[in-house]
Amino acid sequence: MRPNRFAEVAQHRNLQKEEVLQQRMESSVKNFVVILAAIFIPCTAAYPNGLVTDSCNTMEPNHGTTAQTSAAPYTLQLSTTTYGPESIVQVTLVASSDTQFKGFMIQAHAGNNNTPLGTFRTKNQDAQLLKCTTDAAAVSHTSSSQKTKVEVEWVAPKANISNLHFRATVVQVRPTYWMNIASQDLIYNGGSHLVPALKLILIGTAIVIFTLLRV
């Protein structure tokens, strides 16, 4: 075999080696990207900033795990047991035994209906309003800082809604969370409608009495 033929064979083999090395490097880069995606995508989907509007319907965090089945170490406390149209109710999410939590979502529901009712108001920087069907129909955390208590206000709708309750999802630490933490029932009494009606009755009675006295 001529010397230049040996050189051609050697060059061809070197090219083959370079192609194999390049393919291996490309494969390694792809695997590295997949690993990074597996690490970071779930973290970004965990919503540490509390903007969990994607979870409005189910109230389930996107953590890739299922909710705890044990009794939740958290409770929802209400400032009253009854309400009327446009009543304001103080809603407090409390951790028992100093069991801190990082994330939460709270909504008001009538029975098993998943449509959130009323509107919320925040009282500090631990909570923010969410648009779930309507503006401010839910409230959630603003950061993943540790918390033992969160207080918000809920304003009842104008229409007669009947009895309802509040429901919360609470994330202790990712991926540990509890769902369907329910408050006591809030009984509808239509109280806010009684005041205008009573005023009309009193005014009407006063007019009748005044008219009779003048006769």
Residue 183 lies in a domain: yes
57 and 39 in one domain?
no
**Beta strands 119-122; 88-95: pairing state:** unpaired
Rounded Cα–Cα distance for residues 172 and 33 (Å): 30
**Together in a domain, 58 and 11:** no
| 141 phi, psi to nearest 5 deg | -75, 160
Answer yes or no: is 208 within a domain. Answer: no
Q: Are residues 65 and 41 in the same domain?
A: no
Q: Are residues 96 and 160 in the same domain?
A: yes
Nearest-angstrom CA–CA distance, 36 and 105: 29
Q: Could you check whether the bond before residue 175 is cis, i.e. omega within 30 degrees of 0?
A: yes
Distance CA 76, CA 79 (A): 10
Same domain membership, residue 79 and residue 182: yes
Establish if 187 belongs to a structural domain. yes
Q: Which domain holds residue 122?
A: 53-193
- The domain tally of the chain equals 2
Cut 0.85: pTM above it = no
157 and 73 in one domain?
Answer: yes
Looking at residue 174, its pLDDT comes to 87
What are the Cα distances from residue 42, in Å, to 11, 47, 62, 199? 47, 9, 8, 58
Q: Tokens at residue 20, please?
A: 């194999």
Whether 34 and 69 map to the same domain: the answer is no
- In a domain, residue 198? The reply is no
Q: Which SS3 state, helix, strand or coil, does residue 186 take?
A: strand
SS3 of 147, please? Answer: strand
- 33 and 139 assigned to the same domain: no
In this structure, are 39 and 61 located in the same domain?
no
Amino acid letter, 82: T
153 phi and psi angles, rounded to 5 deg: -115, 145
Tens of pLDDT, residue by residue, the chain (215 residues): 555 555 665 565 666 666 666 666 666 545 544 444 444 444 434 556 656 788 999 999 988 899 999 999 999 999 999 999 999 999 999 999 879 999 999 999 999 899 999 999 999 999 999 999 899 999 999 999 999 999 999 999 998 788 999 999 999 998 999 999 999 999 999 854 444 554 555 566 666 565 666 66
Cα angle vertex 174, ends 172, 177, to 5°? 45
- CATH number of domain containing 115: 2.60.40.4060
Q: Tell me the CA end-to-end span of the chain in Å, nearest whole number.
A: 140
For 47, phi then psi, to 5°, come to 55, 60
Q: What is the pLDDT of residue 62?
A: 85
Residues in a beta bridge with 129: 139
Kindly state whether residues 102 and 182 are assigned to the same domain. yes
